[in-house]
């Protein structure tokens, strides 16, 4: 799963050597992604006529955006797979700003581009005839900005990364939903509960007391709508938690004090205890005790000082006066209204919470008594990254990807880090920078697969809540083995602000929503992504192992007995979480140890740690030696 980069050929003296790469020779089916705006080199309108200009455009991986790089003349010719024409500065003029076009491939110097290393996998491309570099002209940030040649410099407009096709992935068609899936969660029956606001496409402030919801069936592609009013709660922009007893807790949002509970056993909503502090855009996480911690949320109620609270099934909400949301807020240009939103919170043990961001400073929170806070250091060199995405891909190990310096301002980042907080409050948190994503993203979603890989989906190049412009259409797959990102097939509909994504029981990913913010284009639809691990090497469907028998419940620290239809290599549990506004704090994957084996019957060890094995519904997956997963079996951990 390594990303292939253009190897720098030693015959070109001007080229700077890149780090060693597994790639040698020609590179096929690649996108050429500009670092200035995360857009792709594109032959205008997919044209096949010599002389057609090349611009940058939103990456779709469609005709005119897919190229082959072929070693030639001390560099590479870059050939458009659609028109079989070569990227060129026709005639090799040394004129600054001369247009880049596609021309009939002739092997001339004006069609040869030599990579210059810019760090990591980034390169500039120097034209062998002119000695000038490929650059994005005009603003360098918009669809249609031309590709030109300019004097070589280490600028974003002259920096590119190659993204060859690796493996197979695919999307379903566009599946209508009654409203945009602003929030979603997978139910034990495999269906997806989703909801929007007081109206299908419009939210409001104040206590109107209703929410449009639906249950989507990924098998039939159909969804049944329901308006929930019995809890007197507009559940727009709330906190969400999936409880130890299988219910879904929704708190705050437009109805800023309210709490609602959904029971998948009865398909019923009920009213929960009111919070002590009004809040919206806050985040929740379930503790090892089964209680729920919430923090932040100045979008609703007064600005600032959104103290932490803990929900208990018996006693309701308890305020933590010594846990002030302002102390966890980032330096957002929008002030505290935005700075204490969408925090990354993960339970540890029965009572502690690890705060990973989006602020650069991380913390430990003790939820007993009045609460207590202590520093966990900074997230490496990573600054405030609001609307980034974080997921637990392994036991107490997080992948953080993307984010922006302002909720509604600034550009998304490609920065990715792993965060290891397995040592708990008494040990240092280990933060490790990863190779960057291919695309800058704000408002993306991240979903962990049973393999431990993470899919990062959607987002925008620039942080804005009101437009589909600059949407990132190509998902990426991060591998914990190679620590790199590779591209997947582009989706059909932009998914960014007010979208959600969750892992389905069959190992595919539901992605939906977007809109519901006044001037937004609404997207009342969904698509389902089939990841590469469900395809064979020839591009056909992979043969999947089958879990033929499994316990439906397991106790922490005990064993779990499973039988499969063939030999498998690994098992993993993935907790069924809930997604909204880039956050899915309850989502986590835990690999299981095989304690004993007899034929195709396995005894698995369930970790005893209640902070890791948070009670509730998990999906048990068996994976074969090639990493192909079974369909997940629902197991209640308690």
Question: Which position among 76, 262, 281, 497 bears the catalytic label?
Answer: 497
From edge to edge, which strands make up the β-sheet containing 259-263?
A: 239-242, 248-251, 259-263, 268-271
Confirm if 472 and 444 have CB atoms less than 8 A apart: yes
489/512 Cα distance (integer angstroms)? 16
3-state secondary structure of 46: helix
Q: Which of 589, 528, 570 is nearest to 217 (CA)?
A: 528
Cα separation, 494 vs 421, whole angstroms: 33
CB proximity list for 179: less than 8 A, separation 6 or greater: 194, 195, 196, 197, 200, 201, 212, 214, 225, 516, 524
Strands (E), 300-386: 308-312, 316-320, 344-348, 352-357, 361-366, 372-378
Alpha-carbon gap, residue 346 to 173, rounded angstroms: 34
Secondary structure of residue 534 in the 3-state scheme: helix
Q: Which residues pair with 522 in a beta bridge?
A: none
The alpha carbon of 18 is separated from its chain's Cα centroid by a whole number of angstroms, namely 28
- With a CB cutoff of 8 Å and minimum separation 6, the contacts of 314 are none
Cα gap 520→408, rounded to integer Å:
14
**281 part of the active site:** no
What's the rounded Cα separation, in Å, for the pair 541 and 370?
54
Q: Which of 617, 633, 616 is nearest to 291 (CA)?
A: 616
**Helix or strand (DSSP H, E) at 397:** strand 397-401
Active site residues: 497
């Amino acid at each position: 799963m390594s990303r292939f980069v253009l190897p720098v050929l030693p015959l070109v003296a001007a080229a700077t050597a890149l780090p060693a790469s597994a790639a040698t020779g020609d590179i096929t089916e690649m996108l050429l992604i500009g670092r200035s705006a995360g857009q792709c080199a594109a032959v205008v309108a997919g044209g096949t006529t010599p002389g057609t200009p090349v611009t940058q455009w939103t990456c779709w991986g469609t005709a005119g955006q897919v190229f082959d790089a072929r070693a030639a003349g001390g560099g590479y010719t870059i050939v458009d797979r659609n028109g079989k024409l070569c990227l060129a500065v026709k005639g090799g003029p040394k004129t600054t700003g001369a247009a880049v076009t596609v021309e009939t491939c002739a092997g001339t110097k004006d069609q040869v581009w030599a990579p210059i290393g810019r760090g990591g996998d980034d390169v500039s491309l120097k034209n062998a005839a002119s000695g000038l570099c490929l650059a994005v002209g005009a603003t360098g940030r918009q669809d249609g900005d031309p590709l030109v040649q300019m004097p070589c410099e280490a600028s974003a407009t002259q920096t590119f990364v190659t993204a060859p096709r690796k493996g197979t992935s695919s999307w379903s068609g566009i599946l209508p939903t009654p409203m945009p899936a602003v929030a979603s969660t997978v139910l034990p029956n495999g269906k997806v509960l989703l909801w929007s606001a007081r109206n299908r496409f419009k939210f409001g402030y104040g206590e109107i007391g209703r929410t449009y919801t639906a249950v989507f069936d990924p098998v039939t592609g159909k969804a049944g709508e329901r308006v929930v009013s019995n809890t007197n709660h507009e559940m727009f922009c709330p906190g969400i938690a999936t409880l130890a007893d299988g219910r879904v807790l929704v708190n705050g949002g437009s109805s800023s004090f309210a709490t609602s509970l959904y029971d998948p056993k009865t398909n019923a909503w009920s009213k929960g205890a009111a919070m002590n502090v009004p809040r919206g855009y806050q985040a929740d996480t379930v503790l090892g005790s089964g209680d729920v911690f919430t923090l932040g949320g100045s979008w609703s109620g007064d600005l600032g000082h959104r103290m932490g609270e803990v929900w208990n099934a018996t006693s309701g909400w308890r305020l933590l006066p010594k846990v002030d949301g302002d102390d966890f807020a980032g330096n957002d240009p929008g002030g505290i209204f935005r700075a204490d939103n969408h925090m990354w919170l993960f339970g540890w043990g029965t009572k502690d919470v690890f705060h990973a961001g989006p602020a650069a400073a991380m913390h430990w929170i003790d939820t007993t008594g009045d609460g207590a806070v202590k520093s966990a250091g900074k997230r490496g060199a990573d600054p405030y990254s609001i609307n980034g995405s974080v997921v637990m891909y392994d036991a107490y190990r997080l992948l953080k990807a993307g984010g922006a310096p302002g909720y509604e301002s600034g550009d998304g980042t490609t920065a990715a880090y792993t965060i290891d907080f397995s040592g708990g409050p008494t040990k240092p948190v280990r933060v490790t920078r990863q190779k960057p994503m291919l695309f800058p993203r704000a408002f993306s979603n991240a979903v962990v697969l049973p393999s431990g890989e993470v899919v990062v989906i959607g987002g925008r190049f620039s942080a804005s809540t009101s437009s589909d412009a600059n949407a990132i259409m190509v998902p990426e797959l991060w591998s914990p083995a190679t620590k790199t990102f590779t591209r997947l097939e582009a989706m059909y509909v932009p998914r960014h602000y007010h979208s959600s994504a969750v892992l389905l029981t069959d190992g595919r990913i539901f992605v939906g929503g977007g809109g519901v913010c006044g001037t937004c284009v609404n997207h009342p639809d969904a698509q389902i992504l089939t990841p590469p691990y469900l395809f064979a090497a020839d591009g056909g469907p992979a043969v999947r192992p089958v879990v033929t028998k499994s316990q439906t419940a397991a106790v922490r620290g005990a064993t779990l007995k499973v039988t499969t239809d063939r030999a498998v290599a690994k098992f993993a549990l993935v907790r069924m979480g809930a997604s909204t506004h880039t956050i899915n704090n309850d989502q986590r994957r835990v690999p299981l140890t095989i304690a004993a084996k007899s034929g195709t019957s396995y005894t698995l060890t369930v970790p005893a740690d209640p902070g890791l094995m948070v009670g509730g519904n998990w999906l048990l997956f068996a994976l074969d030696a090639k990493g192909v997963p079974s369909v997940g079996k629902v197991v209640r951990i308690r």
